[in-house]
Chains A and B, each alone.
Chain A
Amino acid sequence: NAGVTQTPKFQVLKTGQSMTLQCAQDMNHEYMSWYRQDPGMGLRLIHYSVGAGITDQGEVPNGYNVSRSTTEDFPLRLLSAAPSQTSVYFCASRRDNYFGQETQYFGPGTRLLVL
């Protein structure tokens, strides 16, 4: 299993440009999520999905869109990049077993710089 994969690893954008951060998992997890990590702010949840066709907002959703057409993929779209969106972005998927035990796996991250 590749686990959770993210592309690209690093991206530079100009203000106003749009782009999509890709995330895929091959573990058949229903729950997937996107976080951003900023110095001194910890990880903050942007959007999450509990299954194909179902998405919801996290703590900091403004400026980002998501969709979940398949179980495997959960792309994050920046419609009009702003310098405040400079951050490291992590995608994660979660496994829940029949005993209520959950484990969350993170992708390697995408470092985004918006000029």
Chain B
Amino acid sequence: EDKVVQSPLSLVVHEGDTVTLNCSYEVTNFRSLLWYKQEKKAPTFLFMLTSSGIEKKSGRLSSILDKKELFSILNITATQTGDSAVYLCGPSDTGNQFYFGTGTSLTVIP
């Protein structure tokens, strides 16, 4: 069964729009959830979340985790063309296993 489901699969928005990317997961012995941005090459780290309800922010990006409902969201405000990428979420367990969703492909149109 799928351990990580990301939605939507793809998204096309105009510059300046706000987007919300979703990640639901099912991992036994949950340890953390990481968000990455992938632009045709290697994924680059965005956030690590371990506690419910605590928002992590970095510029126009923010993320929050709900460990009870087993999901996380990534928000991007005032989108720019440079935000176009595939966004991956990856929960890990205490046994050092990492799991990834197939990602959300975001395209920002000027």
Please tell me if the beta carbons of B42 and A108 are within 8 angstroms of each other in the complex. yes
- Number of residues from B at the complex interface, CB < 8 A: 21
27 A-B pairs with CB atoms under 8 Å apart are: A33-B98, A35-B100, A40-B102, A42-B101, A42-B102, A42-B103, A43-B43, A43-B88, A43-B98, A43-B100, A45-B97, A45-B98, A45-B99, A48-B98, A50-B96, A59-B97, A59-B99, A90-B43, A101-B48, A102-B34, A102-B48, A103-B45, A103-B48, A104-B34, A106-B42, A106-B44, A108-B42
Give, as a whole number of angstroms, the nearest-CB distance from B27 to chain A. 12
A31 CB-CB contact with B under 8 Å: yes
For B48, the chain A residues whose CB sits under 8 A away are 101-103
The reply to whether B100 and A109 contact each other, CB–CB distance below 8 Å, is no
